[in-house]
Amino acid sequence: GIVYNVAVVTGDIRGAGTNSKIHVILHGSKGLKNSGKIFLEGGEFERARTDLFNVEIAALLSPLSRVTIGHDNCGVSSGWFCEKVVVYCPFTGIEQTFPCGKWLDEDEGDGLIERELYEMVSLRQRRLKKSPWSLWIWTSDIKNAGTDATIFFQIYGDKGKSDEMKLDNNSDNFETGQTDKFMIELPDLGTFYKLRIWHEKRNPFAGWHLNKVTLLKTLTKEKYLFNCGRWLDINEDDNEIVRELPAEGSLVTEVMPVIKYRVTVCTGTVSGSGTDANVFVCLIGDQGDTGDRVLYNCINTVNKFEKGNADEFFIEAVTLKQVRRVRIGHDGKGGSSGWYLAKVIVREEGQPESEAVEFPCYRWLDKNEDDGQIVRELVPAGESPMLKNVSYHISVKTGDIPGASSDSKVFIKLYGEKADSSKETLLVSDNDLGNYFERGRVDEFTLDTMDIGKINRILIGHDNVGLRSGWFLASVQITVPVQGRQYMFPCNRWLDKDEADGRVEVEVYPSEIVPIEKLINYEVSVVTGDVRAAGTNAKVFMQIYGETGKTELIILENRSNNFERGATDIFKREAADVGNIYKIRIGHDGKGIGDGWFLESVTLKRLAMKTKESDKKKKKKKKSDEEEEEETKVEEVMDVYTFVAHRWLAKDEGDKELVVELVPDGESALEGKYQRECVCVCGYSSCMKDDNHTVVLCRTIYGPSAIPLPRACSVAYTGVWLISSGEEEDKNTYEVHVLTGNVWGAGTDANVFLSIYGVGRGDTGERQLKRSNNLNKFEKGQVDVFTIKAIDLGELKKLRIRHDNSGASPSWFLERVEIVDLKESTTYYFPCQRWLAVEEDDGQIVRELVPVDEAFVKKDSENDGQSLATLGLEQKAKSTTYTVKVKTGDKKNAGTDANVFITLYGSKDDTGIVSLKASKINKNKFERGKVDEFTVESVDIGDLKKIKIGHDNKGNSTGWFLEWVEIDAPSLGQCLKFPCGRWLDKSEDDGAIERTIFPAKLQTREYIPFVPYEITVYTSDIFGAGTDADVFIVLYGSDGICTQQKSLCLNKREQRMYFERNSVNQFIVEV
């Protein structure tokens, strides 16, 4: 017959439960066939509970047209309030929901005790199709063969593998000489090739002697046999309690051999390397895997996994063919569970040592070190697991209802199109909130595993252990940047033995899959120099520049103590694919004690797709072009870039800079430019030639930064030229002249920052303008000169200048910036003539400026006003003005006093961090339920892709509930909505105070782009001619089309300033 899973939900209202006998009738698709009356035996039908029944019917009725449900009206409290009935048929994979929401009670409502329920089609779900199978397990007829342990099994076929399945041993199953029969449901796995069967009891009396297992598909009578005839016992045979059995029978063309794999686990020699935790390993090959095997019986050592050990184990499994990956981890139990794993070596027993495959790790498996992971997937030597593995970022939201929190251990399993992940216990969270799975909070975890393809479902649950084990799960969100996808899994249900249907694990299907920005993996290795006080505790960051753009700022930190003297720190980071890399910027924030850092070098690795011409092509030279094209093959290669720094990044060393730009080593050292170098040794100059025989490690140094070599140096002749890395040719020095305006109050005490942008050669990153030729910087009418060293930017296209609004009088009127390119001896002029002030102009404290012809800047007495006006109009046409509206949610304590900032990311560039200081609408910003409006100006960042918004967590009430952000760009003719609906609060949600938000496609508004106009208003010279009113303008075209009404003044202060008697005022407006 065909099994139907029927879930009956009793309502959550007073007196909803019943003692009556409930019956159900399932009606087929056209209502022709039905199941007949089925009595649901053994249900409780208590208030707010869900009762589950497996109903077997001879006919296939799914999808059902309707369900009849009723009761016999017997018993003391016979009235019943039925919420809904859910019917799932594994054979068709269809789950149908039939809402009721009514009393079945003679004394309530319409007095009916039987109702016809119809499906709510919008709730229908398609799940994995499963077929019914009969499973027979034959326990051997020898002394003590039986067991009281719970038995688990898993089946592998050529189309995939089943889940791990549990066979409860509550009635007397698995007794000596007995055959036990079970009904199970399996998805389509193709032809079976093996079965793994095991139990988890390691006590002396739990041993079991299994004779054989048979599987029969009930509908088609396909049959498989799995012979065993061995003990699963810690004191018998090879002391193992897991067996893999190859499939036999008429459907199997070839019975697979069972192979012993010798697995050598090498623990590192770092201090504290060893572990007392229980270690498990899983070998993954071209044909299946071994499942997680606890490494219990070591062949060669008594005390396992100690510092420097090489422990050997045997793992017996049906052949995996070629072993491709090794998954290894521990359970985190025991006093010193942290473990530094060097490598794992795998070979088939009986094969020569030379056939062994090495899987290097050289990382911690420790909650408090590195990335905090205690399970790692390793790939063979020569491949990089950091680059090959995909990171799945899992956000688990606990519901915001009473008693929702749980103390149990939560696990998750992902099912993808290519493969499944293993069942992973969520032990170490990325946003460490202290207590996990607390009411209303979001815990974030990272699962690093092979690419399983598009996720089609997840299994999530808990072990039901602990004081408060029950858990109300709201939702799971999985973000996979390498795939460019984000999955939403709504759950909104109890996982609790005493609530709803009593289940503690549940399978969830995605409600939506949202495309997000696609990123790639980078492996970053940073070497700190081996000199005195070389290490730093400051926050280290880097940025990568490539042919197609730049990455965001990448913070290099994890749970370990990084950047110690002489150490190499390795990080995996997901960032944008920038194509071929031509430079990096790396530095630190200069905070903390002993922040000075001696950086030796940086190595970057990434996987790139390259077209490879195969050998065939070279032979078939005379063939047509079309055939040639087919021979090119795309393959994945690892790009490796090395950047040598060998310098201090410290306030009190060298050039006192904290950030350095580096080009890849050997990048632009062109052949033919090699010169013979002379080095200074022991105070006298000597040419490198054949007669110097002592050894030295020397490095060529150029120009004024040359440092004398230590005294005890001598020279070795190697027959190789010493070559400059060519970095000198890439470097440039820019002289920056900052002219403060000559108006009252023009000077500033704030810290000023500058970024310079080149055409197609990236930017300098943000540099603080610290060391001026004047002691007191940025005073009224003053010119301050600064020097910026950077990798050559080519022709300059724009600059961004801002201040941090600190100090007693931060408001600043900037006249212009002039930049002299010392390499090319050219000067660029960037006029500004605007305030960078919260109380002045449009309230912005950041400006993006574009270069203009020198003629505009040099004062020409007759033509002064005209040229400046044209200039203003040109600059407005080159830049984009964004109106940013920010809605604070209407919740208790939703408002914030913290400083809010935003970054807009476009397809070409970003705006940098913009402080939202001056709201056009409200004096008191970001109050509960209010909308604030701000102006952001930027030059050519391309189409808006996403925004990052956050706050600095300073002030009295810092927590903030952000409803949405709306960004309107009139010159582009589009208005984008960025929905958020989350807290930015250390003590709410996931504890983040910064969020990246993508636009909602359906809420985007497009309209005809606006055009900038220059409007000059002449006020008459008669008594009382001026006004302080809000003057607005509407322009009419020849076809009677008119613009919207537009105010000429940005604020009340400007209304008081302009339109005075006999004045001429100029405005640039977009209409």
- Residue (of 106, 88, 112, 108) closest to 98 by Cα position: 88
**CA atoms lying within 13 Å on the CB side of residue 187:** 17
With residues binned 3-state (H G I as helix, E B as strand, rest as coil), the percentages for the chain, rounded to 5, are 5, 45, 50
Mean pLDDT to the nearest integer, 445-454: 94
Query: CA geometry: angle at 646 spanning 642 and 652, to 5°?
Result: 140
Question: For 325-338, b where at least 16 C-beta lie within 10 A, e where not — what string?
Answer: bbbbbbbbeeeebb
Q: Tell me the pLDDT tens digit for each residue of 347-381.
A: 999 899 899 999 999 999 999 999 889 999 999 99
Nearest to 839 by CA among 879, 810, 863: 810
If pLDDT is split at 50, 70 and 90, which confidence band does 612 have?
A: low
Residue 246 · residue 257 · CB < 8 Å: yes
Arithmetic mean of pLDDT, 837-858: 86
**Amino acid 1044: pLDDT:** 84
Instruction: Give the span between the Cα atoms of 468 and 471, in whole angstroms.
Output: 8
User: DSSP of 190-231, one letter per residue?
Assistant: -SEEEEEEEE---STT--EEEEEEEEEETTT--EEEEEEEEE
| Omega within 30 of 0 (cis) for the link into 63 | yes
Dihedral Cα 700, 704, 710, 715, nearest 10 deg: 30
Question: Using 50, 70 and 90 to split pLDDT, how confident is the model at 728?
Answer: low
* Token code pair at residue 455: 């996720």
Instruction: Please give the Cα distance from 1052 to 1029 (Å, whole number).
Output: 9
Least confident of 43-52, 419-428, 670-679, 728-737: 670-679
Pairing state between β 390-398 and 826-836: unpaired
Which one is the CATH code of 257-383: 2.60.60.20, 2.60.40.1180, 2.40.50.140, 3.40.50.970? Answer: 2.60.60.20
pLDDT band at 855; cut points 50, 70, 90: confident
Residues 6+ apart with CB under 8 A from 300: 310, 311, 312
Buried b (16+ CB within 10 A) or exposed e, 963-1000: bbbbbbbbbbebbbbbbbebbbbeebbbbbbebbbbbe
Instruction: Please report the pLDDT score of residue 697 as a whole number.
Output: 41
* CB-CB contact of 572 with 522 (8 Å): yes
Q: Where are the domains of the chain?
A: 2-126, 130-255, 257-383, 388-515, 520-614+631-662, 726-857, 859-1009, 1012-1070
CA angle 325, 326, 330 (to 5 degrees): 155
Q: Given a cut of 60, is residue 662 above it in pLDDT?
A: yes
- Taking the C-alpha atoms of residue 686 and residue 688, their distance in angstroms, rounded to an integer, is 6
For the residues 588-593, what does the mean pLDDT come to?
89
Answer yes or no: are the C-beta atoms of 361 and 344 closer than 8 Å.
Answer: yes
- Out of 3.40.50.10540, 2.40.30.10, 3.30.420.40, 2.60.60.20, select the CATH number for domain 859-1009: 2.60.60.20
* Rounded mean pLDDT, 550-574: 93
Six-digit token string for 289: 């895997």
pLDDT of residue 170: 73
**Residue 669, amino acid:** A
Q: Which two tokens stand for residue 168?
A: 């409860």
pLDDT value at residue 729? 64
The whole-number pLDDT of residue 594 equals 82
Which residue carries 């460019």 as its tokens?
Answer: 484
Range in 70-79, 238-247, 722-731, 1016-1025 the model is least confident about? 722-731
In tens, the pLDDT along 621-656 reads: 444 444 444 456 677 888 999 999 999 999 988 888
The top-level CATH class assigned to 2-126 is mainly beta
In our burial notation (b when 16+ CB lie closer than 10 A, e otherwise), range 775-810 reads eebbeeebebebebebbbbeebbbbbbbbebeeeeb
Contact 283, 317 (CB under 8 A): yes
Better pLDDT: 402 or 204: 402
Q: For residue 869, what pLDDT is reported?
A: 61
What pLDDT was estimated at residue 673? 33
For 1038, counting Cβ atoms within 10 Å of its Cβ (0-12 exposed, 13-18 middle, 19+ buried), the class is exposed
Q: Are 804 and 750 in contact (CB under 8 A)?
A: yes
The secondary structure of 656-721 as a DSSP string is --SEEEE--TTSS--TT-----EEEETTEEEE--TT-BS--------GGG--PPPTT---B--SS-
Domains 388-515 and 859-1009 share a fold: yes
Alpha carbons 746 and 760: distance in angstroms, whole number: 34
Quickly tell me which residue has 């006006």 as its tokens.
869
> From CA 528, how far away is CA 600, in angstroms rounded?
5
- The residue behind tokens 């997937």 is 377
CATH architecture of 520-614+631-662: Sandwich (2.60)
Residue 84 has pLDDT above 60, yes or no: yes
Beta strand pairing status for 1012-1018 and 471-480? unpaired
Report CA 826 to chain centroid distance, whole Å.
44
- Region label for 781, one of left (φ > 0), alpha (ψ between -120 and 50) or beta (otherwise): left
Q: Residue for token digits 């020279």?
A: 715
In CATH terms, the fold of domain 130-255 is Lipoxygenase-1 (2.60.60)
Given the candidates 2.160.20.10, 2.40.110.10, 3.30.70.20, 2.60.60.20, the CATH classification of the domain at 388-515 is: 2.60.60.20
How far is CA 203 from each of CA 151, 242, 363, 781, 1062, rounded to the nearest angstrom? 15, 14, 34, 87, 101
Residue 122: alpha-carbon gap to chain centroid: 31
Q: Own/partner pairs for 709-717, CB < 8 Å, 24+ apart?
A: 709/679, 709/680, 709/681, 711/682, 712/682, 713/681, 713/682, 714/681, 714/682, 715/679, 715/681, 715/686, 715/688, 716/692, 717/688, 717/689, 717/690, 717/691, 717/692, 717/693
d(CA 65, CA 662): 69
**Res 624: pLDDT:** 47
Q: What tokens does 750 get? A: 């704030």
The token duo for 1064 is 């001429």
Residue by residue, DSSP assigns 453-498 as -SEEEEEEEE---STT--EEEEEEEEEETTTTEEEEEEEEEEE-TT
Q: Which residue has the tokens 């002691």?
A: 775
Question: Residue 861: pLDDT above 50?
Answer: no
Task: Please determine, for residue 445, whether its predicted confidence score (pLDDT) is greater than 90.
Answer: yes
Tell me how far apart the alpha carbons of residues 695 and 682 are, in angstroms, rounded to a whole number.
14
Identify whether the C-beta of residue 505 lies closer than 8 Å to the C-beta of residue 461: yes
Rounded to the nearest integer, the mean pLDDT of the chain is: 88
Structure tokens of 1065?
A: 């005022």
Query: Percent of the chain having pLDDT more than 70?
Result: 91
At position 410, the amino acid (one-letter code) is V
726-857: what CATH class? mainly beta
- Do 689 and 678 form a contact (C-beta atoms < 8 A)? no
SS3 label, residue 355: helix
Distance linking the first and last C-alpha atoms of the chain: 72
What is the distance between the alpha carbons of residues 68 and 24, in angstroms, rounded to a whole number? Answer: 6
Whole-prediction pTM: 0.84
Phi, psi of 875 (to 5 degrees): -65, -40
CA distance 196 to 288: 11
pLDDT of 95 above 90: yes
pLDDT at 712: 43
Q: Is the pLDDT of residue 702 over 60?
A: no
Nearest to residue 393, comparing CAs of 870, 996, 890?
A: 996
Q: Per-residue confidence at 11, pLDDT binned at 50, 70, 90? A: very high
Q: What is the largest CA-CA distance in the chain?
A: 120
Burial class (CB in 10 A: 0-12, 13-18, 19+), 1031: middle
